Chains A and B, each alone.
Chain A
Amino acid sequence: ELKVEQNPLFLSMQEGKNYTIYCNYSTTSDRLYWYRQDPGKSLESLFVLLSNGAVKQEGRLMASLDTKARLSTLHITAAVHDLSATYFCAGLYSGGGADGLTFGKGTHLIIQP
């Protein structure tokens, strides 16, 4: 059974600073997803990481995947208030032939001016 752990679960940071959210997973999951969720809203897809060493960047966010370490990171560069949200990583659970995603508990990110 795939398990996904994120840390930290809560992060308060100032605008302009850099920080990294970590996502560890327990068994083979060579697809790793990052989602953003605003309060009361649904999930917005940020990145899909498919292979070892994959790195993707969009604006101030950069995600990477190390399948050997079973680790994905989401790096925030020069944070701005608009990035305040909850960020989830999710691995692919293929048990029983389904493509159900296994999510971490989420990182609640607050960026203060």
Chain B
Amino acid sequence: DAGVTQSPTHLIKTRGQQVTLRCSPISGHKSVSWYQQVLGQGPQFIFQYYEKEERGRGNFPDRFSARQFPNYSSELNVNALLLGDSALYLCASSLAGRGVNEQFFGPGTRLTVL
């Protein structure tokens, strides 16, 4: 069975640019969450989407936005990139939006902002 997939694997942008990251959840999973992991730190929660609706967001500025499509795949958009946005962006999928649902993580997208 295919796990969570993310694209691209690596990305280099310059300050002020915009970036779109993509995630496909495990087949049958309806919830997607996004996390940012800065080097040497634990992942930080950005968004959760369930059934195409935003279920919640962490403490991130409005430059970060996301959406979920009818096939449950998701995109994370970051506008006006800052150097501090350089990180590994992880997508996690789970079966449903709440309850005892284990989150399975994708391989991540490594974003470097120059």
B-binding residues in A (CB < 8 A):
4, 31, 33, 35, 41-45, 48, 50, 88, 90, 93-106
Taken together as a complex, chains A and B put the C-alpha atoms of A70 and B104 apart, in Å, by 24
Q: Is the CB–CB distance between B106 and A42 below 8 Å? A: yes
Neighbour of B56 across the interface among A43, A44, A90, A96, CB < 8 A: A96
Residue of A with least CB distance to B98 = A99
Taken together as a complex, chains A and B put the C-alpha atoms of A99 and B58 apart, in Å, by 10
Q: Is the CB–CB distance between A48 and B102 below 8 Å? A: yes
A-binding residues in B (CB < 8 A):
31, 33, 35, 40-45, 47-48, 55-58, 90, 94, 97-98, 100-108
- Known contacts A42-B105, A42-B106, A45-B102; A95/B56 CB under 8 A: yes
- Known contacts A42-B105, A43-B90, A48-B102; A97/B56 CB under 8 A: yes
Q: Which residues of A contact B31 (CB under 8 A)?
A: 99
Taken together as a complex, chains A and B put the C-alpha atoms of A93 and B103 apart, in Å, by 13
Q: Which residues of A contact B43 (CB under 8 A)?
A: 43, 88, 90, 101, 103
Taken together as a complex, chains A and B put the C-alpha atoms of A48 and B102 apart, in Å, by 7
Q: Which residues of A contact B101 (CB under 8 A)?
A: 99
**Shortest beta-carbon distance from A39 to chain B in Å:** 11
Residue of A with least CB distance to B94 = A99
Q: Is the CB–CB distance between A105 and B41 below 8 Å? A: yes
Taken together as a complex, chains A and B put the C-alpha atoms of A50 and B31 apart, in Å, by 20
Neighbour of B48 across the interface among A50, A90, A100, CB < 8 A: A100
Taken together as a complex, chains A and B put the C-alpha atoms of A98 and B104 apart, in Å, by 16
Residue of A with least CB distance to B100 = A50
**Shortest beta-carbon distance from B90 to chain A in Å:** 6
Q: Which residues of A contact B56 (CB under 8 A)?
A: 95-100
Neighbour of A99 across the interface among B41, B55, B105, CB < 8 A: B55
